[in-house]
A and B are shown apart, each in its own frame.
Chain A
Amino acid sequence: MKRIAKSLALAGLVASVGMVGTVTAHAAEFKLLNVSYDPTRELYQEYNAAFAKHYLEATGDTVTIEQSHGGSGKQAQAVIDGLGADVVTLALAGDINAIVKKSGLIAADWQSRFELNATPYSSTIVFLVRKGNPKGVKDWADLVKPGIEVITPNPKTSGGARWNYLAAWAYANRTDGGDEQKTIAFVKSLYANVPVLDTGARGSTTTFAQKELGDVLTTWENEAYLVQDEFGKDNFEIVTPSLSIRAEPPVAVVDKNAEAHGTTEVAKAYLDYLYSAEGQTIAAKNHYRPSHPELVSDKALVDAFPQIDLVTIDDPQFGGWGEAQPKHFGEGGIFDQIHGAS
């Protein structure tokens, strides 16, 4: 009898401990800081709400996501200087590599931790021109003509600007048959046509669309569509060049910060969900090219993207960000030379 009473008491104790355990597990509240680049504002506004809902349903935990946006290079520098990001979703791998190298907050193998080089969505560089395309801009060659004003951000601070620059480079490299001096001359004359270099893609967009400066804006495809959504399809036209670049904005968990905040698991779940059917559909809706188009529920969203001949950063002419970053955008690199001289 005594033994029964004892084991009953024990069972009660176990049960109550178990209940305390479940209660605390249910009370979990997480906060994530996503440090991102400029044009992803609308994307993550929609995605954050969707993820929070999904995570609550799947685990019972609530998660609130805070956002910080700015030029990609500037944002990477802020994380290096101590901005406590749990995840970074930047415009290019080179900026995340800079965080790895200068602060050690992210493990060096970050790009193999999520599918497809940690790139859940991609984009490309297109042109935006005013209604009726008054200057008749059709391809990269038109941007170097005298009297054309091109609006594009500064490759030193903006990730999108570096994709812009490299797309122009890839075009010139193809038409010049790989003669590097001619390619440099082409890119130089393009930047000679740029009256203002804003620090981020969004700054360039407002310069072009709101302040009405310039004849053509070279920008992310998603940003060009967004301008049409915001300012009306009748006011601007998108021009797709004959050749462009596959712009890959990758994502990473900032390991050391997430460890310190106790958010490693939820941070990983947050980025994983970008690859889900819902994440991919939200990306496509915001005009990012989904990495798994087959998962997007509305096929019309996928079919809306025009087919363009795209080179990648791993093309031999660039050799990946490890090679391209110092050669083109480093201190005293090609951009410094052509821009200082123009």
Chain B
Amino acid sequence: MRRVLLAVALVYIAAVLVLPLVLVFTEAFRKGWENYLSAFTDPSSLAAIRLTLLVTVIAVPLNAVFGVLAAWSVTKYQFRGKALLTTLIDLPFSVSPVVSGMVYVLLFGAQGLIGPWLRDNGIEIIFAVPGIVLATMFVTVPFVARELIPLMQSQGTTDEEAALSLGASGWQTFRRVTLPNIKWGLVYGVLLCTARAMGEFGAVSVVSGHIRGKTTTMPLDIEILYNDYNFTAAFAMASLLALLALVTLLIKTVLELRFADELAGTRRH
């Protein structure tokens, strides 16, 4: 029985996860190394890589800070509207990314609520980089908070109470007690958040305007290349995106192996 279950799980993983990944790489290298590398010399593809990294560098730290704050508030304090806050954090998970993109169009678009004001003041949000950053932030809000809330709930508030009663300030308590306790949850949250920020397609597609070399991120560039019949370049870009995601997973695994003891320690808490 155990063998059967294991076999089913392995076959399923191979078919659903590994096979597509292998196909991406075989397609990318179909015409050889040189063709593969030439995909990354195209200026608009380079611009897409730069934009993706820029968006990630802005969205992930902001969502990490917010995630810690939100998880802290929800788990360490009692206040009115707590349930509402928890639900709101989950909103990006339940709403289709396309819809969240549309919300920004309705808000900042030329026909939208504050679009005309933005236009009169020469501020560009939608169909420009700020809109892409906002859309990415929206869809990646829950990752850090969702990772931390259950962890901090199970840890309770006793450690912090002890620290406070021994005369530690709020900041000292956070830095010396809470942060070490939640370190691993935070790392996981940030890694997942990073992977999603780089890969987000739907929401970004709605607010991008698809100006090649200017407002196209890597996932959008892949779509454009594919539609240009430039299959090798499309899969080359896809393989780079997959590689970035694999690197994040690798970091996670390395950390787990290296700090296995410490990890077990915090988990037991």
Residues of A within 8 A of B (CB): 33, 38, 41, 66-70, 78, 80-84, 102-103, 202-203, 206, 210, 230-231
Contact = CB atoms under 8 A, between A and B. Distances in A.
14 contacts: A33-B211, A41-B227, A66-B212, A68-B212, A69-B227, A80-B110, A81-B110, A81-B127, A82-B111, A82-B115, A82-B126, A102-B111, A103-B111, A206-B226
Contacts of A67: 211-212
Given A67-B212, A68-B212, A80-B110, A41 B126 contact: no
A41 B211 CA distance: 12
A76 B185 CA distance: 45
B126 A81 contact: yes
B212 A78 contact: no
B210 A70 contact: yes
A38 to B, nearest CB: 8
Closest 7 A/B residue pairs (Cβ): A82-B110, A81-B109, A83-B209, A83-B127, A230-B229, A202-B227, A68-B210
B213 A66 contact: yes
B150 interface: no
Contacts of B229: 230-231
Contact of B211 (A68, A82, A230): A68
B48 interface: no
A203 B226 CA distance: 10
> Interface SS of chain B: helix, strand, loop or mixed?
loop
B16 to A, nearest CB: 19
A80 B111 contact: yes
Contacts of B218: none
Contacts of B119: 82
Interface of B: 105, 108-112, 115, 119, 124, 126-127, 209-214, 224, 226-229, 231
A60 to B, nearest CB: 24
Contacts of B110: 80-82, 103
B213 A69 contact: no
B215 to A, nearest CB: 8
A66 B214 contact: yes
Nearest to B127: A83
B111 A78 contact: no
Given A68-B209, A69-B210, A82-B119, 17 more contacts: A41-B227, A66-B211, A66-B212, A67-B212, A69-B227, A70-B210, A80-B111, A81-B112, A81-B127, A82-B108, A82-B110, A82-B111, A82-B126, A103-B111, A206-B226, A206-B227, A231-B229
B185 to A, nearest CB: 39
Nearest to B215: A68
Contacts of A80: 110-111
A83 B124 CA distance: 10
Contacts of A230: 229
Max chain B Cβ within 10 angstroms of own Cβ: one of A67, A103, A203: A67
A104 to B, nearest CB: 10
A222 B115 CA distance: 38
Contacts of A70: 210
Contacts of A231: 229
A210 B226 CA distance: 10
B127 A78 contact: yes
